[in-house]
A and B are shown apart, each in its own frame.
Chain A
Amino acid sequence: MTMSSIHGRVMLEQPPETATAGYLAAGALTRRELGKLMAGAGLTMVAMPLVTRDAEAEATPNLTILEWNGYEAPEFHPEYAKKYSGSPSYSFFSDEEEALQKILAGFNPDLSHPCTASIRRWKDAGAIKPIDTKRIERWGEIMPELFSAKGMVIDGEHYMMPWDFGFSQIVYNPDILPLDKPTYGVMVDEAYAGKVSMNSQLDVVVAVGGIIAGNKNIFDPSDAEIDRLVEVWRQMVKTSRFLWSDATEIEQAMASKEIGAAYLWTSSLAALRKQGLRLEVIPPLLPWICGFVINTKGPGDEQQAYDYLNAMLDPVGGKASILANSYAHPNPESYVSVDKVHLRSYGIEDPIASLKEGIFFDEIPAAKREKLIALWDKVRAGL
């Protein structure tokens, strides 16, 4: 449209042949020349995106990560952000099983962030592939003890790059619940019904319920132990005001003093303490290790995935994550300039030793898991 109308105007204004030179000298164009010019401009416009895309390919993020909320800060991956002048795109989850189902239903991230207890399950589902550790320059800097966690290495292959580890725990607010001898029993105590809130993830209720039930094999309970566990669950569902699944949900409820005791991730504990809330931790602590896995059908650039993994091991980003979430980082260098008081208050002054405290989140064997899920669903429904 535009071009033909311009042509039209030029045609109308076209001077007699003899005057062409004069018009050219004055900066005007003949119709033919204008045509050439326009064609040139058109070609350039068509070609430009092709050319620039090629030139910028190195510098734009082409990576999708299925993440927990709160790990997407560019400060955690400064190297990647610098190299690709931006951050990857993130999609968020708050329950590992939901994340796995999202992947199985056809959402394909390049990387995701489950914890050790789920890795075998994710591998069985065909959702992840082994990591080529040679492509991660800083792989050697990872604290070697982390690799001894179950699930980290399957059949001699690394399926996870450990990244964050720390605790979750039952905490209580002494201003609301003045407990004499705080134990996990607070979660099933009828005196505190409606003042406590449990998390809804299976692994969590198996761990906390198993501790309350006094089970020996918490993550691989016998039939008798399962019966006891279910009894505890029934009580737990009755006393819980709600079963939380999203961290902000429980943080708000604790901040408004609606809830006096809850299962809490350390990042939430740190956030609530920053708001000036008095919260005490009830032993035992529940340590865990999470990390990154490479998904089988990632649509993005695999090199970028490895670059991201390497960037996440950078001590600069590590320090930022320790300060922000109060979880430990796999690179010992990250701790060098972090305030010891901060580390101590979240139990990660000696991060490896801290993993041996408390009850580590182990994997639940596949068959038992199915059974426990069915039972937990039944109990959740109030039966």
Chain B
Amino acid sequence: MASVTGGPLVGHARSRPLSQRFRALLLRSEALRGYILLTPTLLVMFLLLVVPLCGMIAFSFFTQVYFDIDFTLTLKNYWSIIKPGAGNTYLGIPFPFETPVYTILLVKSLLMSLVATSVIVLMAYPMAYFIAFRATNHKFLWLVLITVPLWTSYLLRVFAWKVILGHNGVLNSGLISIGVIEEPLGFLLYNPAAVIITLTHAWLAFAILPIYVSLEKIDRSLLEAATDLGDSKLIRFLRVTLPLSLPGVISSALMVFIPTVGDYVTPAQVGGTSGIMIGTIIQRQFGAANNWPLGSALSIFMMLAVTAIVCLFLWGVGNDRIKARGA
């Protein structure tokens, strides 16, 4: 464009109006174009994720004094979480802290989430496998069907489990009517198991889709090759399909594990007195306990723990692969 005039390029560019210079820059720089396309998303992310997160980090260094906030920076909130003391034991593990409730609840939440995640992935895999390999005609329909539970709100699905597992619930009255039991079973609801069942149902659809995508991507000729080379169906699955679908499994596991650790609604509804999780106590800090700084510190403590576990998990997975490649 500039060459048409024949003048020296640089000098000419300087004399051009701002809008043209910007246009030229835009055409030259791919990165800039990318950022401009991303701007709305980045803006939303910044305003709704980064800013609140920074606010929370800042808050975790303040102190609540009755109804006022003391803005002097302090590590007191974090210290109160891990301050050593007489402690307590949970599942036989000692927690030697002055207020062991936070660490114990964190470990309990991580364990409950881990169990839920394992169950979810184990249940999601066969379903994804079926859609990827067995469903031939109506694949799209199957995918839509999987999202059907997501059409109602999360809270309603939790309530639905209360109706199913409850004292006069579907399960109990069904079992009574066919004569299996005489009294309603009390152990169905209001315990960690009920929380895990509910979480499993609520998050299953989120796990199926990533696994499905990774299975779908597998080159079918690899499977044929494995069969031609004499692998049985099981060996073929273990040596070809499973390793190739691992990225999907990993992302499913993370997608379920990370949000469920801090879940608050599910334990509140179906957890009873024994099924409470760390989310419950964090919510209390922002509610009745009136201690936002401690609530923020607990949230960050939880996020750090989750991050550590995720990193450990990813490192373990990566390590395995490297070993496998070396062998």
Contact = CB atoms under 8 A, between A and B. Distances in A.
A28 interface: no
Nearest to A259: B167
A97 interface: yes
B104 A101 contact: no
Contacts of B100: 383
Interface of A: 95, 97-98, 100-101, 104-105, 124-126, 194, 201-202, 237-238, 240-243, 253, 256-258, 366, 370, 373-374, 377-378, 380-383
Contact of A378 (B101, B186, B273): B101
A198 to B, nearest CB: 9
- Enumerate the 5 nearest inter-chain pairs by beta-carbon distance, A residue then B residue, closest first: A258-B167, A97-B288, A242-B272, A256-B168, A125-B67
Nearest to A201: B288
A241 B281 contact: no
A241 B188 CA distance: 12
Interface of B: 66-67, 88, 99-101, 104-105, 166-168, 184, 186, 190, 272-274, 276, 280-281, 284, 286-290
Contacts of B280: 380-381
B273 A238 contact: yes
B190 A377 contact: no
Contacts of A194: 186
Contact of B284 (A242, A377, A382): A377
A383 B287 contact: no
Contact of A374 (B167, B276, B289): B289
B273 A243 contact: yes
A247 to B, nearest CB: 15
A381 B101 contact: yes
A377 B67 contact: no
B273 A101 contact: no
A383 B288 contact: no
B288 A202 contact: yes
A383 B67 contact: no
A378 B99 contact: yes
Contacts of A258: 166-168, 184
Contacts of B88: 383
B190 to A, nearest CB: 5
Nearest to B274: A382
A101 B67 contact: no
In this complex, the member of A258, A370, A380 whose beta carbon has the largest number of chain B beta carbons within 10 angstroms is A258
Contact of B190 (A100, A125, A237, A242): A242
Contact of A381 (B105, B286, B290): B105
Contacts of B290: 97, 100-101, 370, 373
Contact of B101 (A237, A373, A383): A383
In this complex, the member of A101, A238, A240, A257 whose beta carbon has the largest number of chain B beta carbons within 10 angstroms is A101
B54 to A, nearest CB: 18
A132 B99 CA distance: 46
Contact of B66 (A97, A124, A240, A243): A124
Contacts of A238: 273
Given A97-B287, A258-B166, A374-B289, A241 B190 contact: yes
Nearest to A96: B288
Contact of B287 (A98, A124, A237, A243): A98
B7 to A, nearest CB: 47
B104 A383 contact: yes
Contacts of A382: 273-274, 276
B281 A377 contact: yes
Contacts of A374: 99, 289
Nearest to A194: B186
A382 B274 CA distance: 7
A381 B167 contact: no
Contacts of A97: 287-288, 290
A126 B288 contact: no
In this complex, the member of A104, A238, A380, A381 whose beta carbon has the largest number of chain B beta carbons within 10 angstroms is A381
Nearest to A237: B273
A374 B284 CA distance: 10
A256 B99 contact: no
Given A202-B288, A374-B99, A377-B101, 16 more contacts: A95-B287, A95-B288, A97-B288, A100-B290, A101-B286, A242-B273, A243-B272, A258-B184, A370-B66, A370-B290, A373-B290, A377-B284, A380-B273, A380-B280, A382-B276, A383-B104
24 contacts: A97-B287, A97-B288, A97-B290, A125-B67, A201-B288, A241-B190, A241-B272, A243-B272, A257-B167, A257-B168, A258-B167, A258-B168, A366-B66, A373-B289, A374-B99, A377-B281, A377-B284, A377-B289, A381-B101, A381-B104, A381-B105, A382-B273, A382-B274, A383-B104
